[in-house]
Amino acid sequence: MGNRAHKKAVIVTGGSKGIGCGIAKVFANEGAKVLLVGRNPEAGEQAAQEIIDGGGVASFLRADISTPNDVAAMVETSVYRHGGIDVLCSNAGVFPSARLDEMTEEEWDEVNSINLKGTFLTVKACLPELKKSEAGRVLLTSSITGPITGYPGWSHYGATKAGMLGFMRTAAIEFAQHNITINAVMPGNIMTEGLDDIGEDYLNAMTRSIPMGRLGETEDVGYAMLFLSSDEARYITGQTLIVDGGQTLSESIDTVS
């Protein structure tokens, strides 16, 4: 157990599984008090219990980040359980697949309301508590998909992940006077339950396109966020950090050995 996030009050939305669970474990292992947020209580309680069993401080709250009342309850819970909010990891997101010729307006709206509006609601609700912190930090989980690359079926998803970066750049300017930084991590393909559902063909194709020869681990995103939340990163704001094993570097898959 380290102390790089000693006694910091950290919220991880989407902390019940996948990347968020990895982020929560990294912060808890460094001494943070972590509030895990998600809609499924079973997965969330289990993830929190794993952290507690490993000697960390964590608990779960059922909340839907696309619902203002739930997001307000999330803030109140962090204040009540952990004394405030020092670090917000706004990570929850969905990536259902739908090609444009079949995509419905409802599908477009659902992805936007969770990934993009949910980010806005979460960050805005946490702002008063982040201002009270000595050095508030906001970390967004964007993606390489949208800001850099495209993938069939994910036009709505890519639009939200690129939109998060536009949101971040203006937020960074507005937050700077409060000593709050906001940065985004852009994961490539990280091995999670969410990707597992997409199937083996997708996973094999992605692995072939990654110079490091493997998908990322959820903790890889957590370590990037831990750095961006640290004192060493105090002068970095409005920036992006790609965590993709080199996947976006090559112009041709033939050059990936």
Instruction: Please identify every residue annotated as catalytic.
Output: 157
Nearer to ligand NAP, 93 or 136 (CB): 93
> Binding ligand NAP by CB under 6 A: which of 10, 26, 87, 114?
114
Tell me if 221 sits within 8 A of 22, measured CB to CB.
yes
Rounded to whole angstroms, what are the CA distances from 197 to 154, 191, 200? 15, 11, 9
Question: SS3 of 235, please?
Answer: coil
Q: Which of these segments, 13-21, 48-56, 102-110, 225-233, binds ligand NAP (CB under 6 A)? A: 13-21
| Cα dihedral 220, 163, 194, 50 in deg (nearest 10) | 50
Picking from 34, 8, 1, the residue whose alpha carbon sits closest to that of residue 20 is 34
Select from 138, 188, 189, 190 the least CA-distant residue to 164: 138
Count of residues interacting with ligand NAP (CB under 6 A): 31
Using CB under 6 A as the binding rule, whether residue 119 contacts ligand NAP is answered as no
Count of Cβ atoms closer than 10 Å to residue 195 Cβ: 17
Q: How far apart (Å, rounded) are the C-alpha atoms in residues 99 and 155? A: 8
Neighbours of 211 (CB within 10 A): 13
Q: CB–CB of 248/149 below 8 Å?
A: yes
Q: How far is the CB of 6 from ligand NAP (least distance, A)?
A: 25
Query: Shortest distance, CB of residue 63 to ligand NAP, whole angstroms?
Result: 6
Closer residue to ligand NAP, CB minimum distance, 70 or 135: 70
Q: Is 198 exposed, middle or buried, given 0-12, 13-18 or 19+ CB atoms closer than 10 A? A: middle
Interacting residue with ligand NAP among 9, 10, 11, 17 (CB under 6 A): 17
Could you say whether residue 133 binds ligand NAP (CB under 6 A)? no
Instruction: CB nearer to ligand NAP: give 37 or 233.
Output: 37
Stretch that binds ligand NAP, among 31-39, 53-61, 77-85, 97-105 (CB under 6 A): 31-39
Find how far residue 109's CA is from the centre of its chain. Answer: 20
Nearer to ligand NAP, 130 or 140 (CB): 140
**Antiparallel, parallel or unpaired: β 9-13 and 87-90:** parallel
38 makes contact with ligand NAP (CB under 6 A): yes
Would you count residue 13 as binding ligand NAP (CB under 6 A)?
yes
Residues 176-205 that bind ligand NAP (CB under 6 A): 187, 189-190, 192-195
Q: Which is nearer to ligand NAP, 112 or 179 (CB)?
A: 112
What is the contact surface with ligand NAP in residues (CB under 6 A)?
Answer: 13-14, 16-20, 37-40, 43, 64-66, 91-95, 114, 118, 141, 143, 187, 189-190, 192-195
